[in-house]
Amino acid sequence: MNWENPSEFFAMGGHGLYIWASFGLLALLILIEVVVVKKRRKDLIHRLKRLTKARAKMVEKE
Could you tell me the sign of the dihedral formed by the alpha carbons of 17, 23, 26, 32, in that order? negative
For residue range 38-50, list pLDDT tens digits in order: 999 999 999 999 9
Could you read off the pLDDT of 4-58 as tens digits, one per residue? 888 988 898 889 999 999 999 999 999 999 999 999 999 999 999 999 999 999 8
Model pTM score: 0.73
Answer yes or no: is 1 within a domain: no
Domain count, the chain: 1
Residue 31 lies in a domain: yes
Domain residue limits at 22: 6-61
Q: Considering the domain boundaries, does residue 30 fall inside one?
A: yes
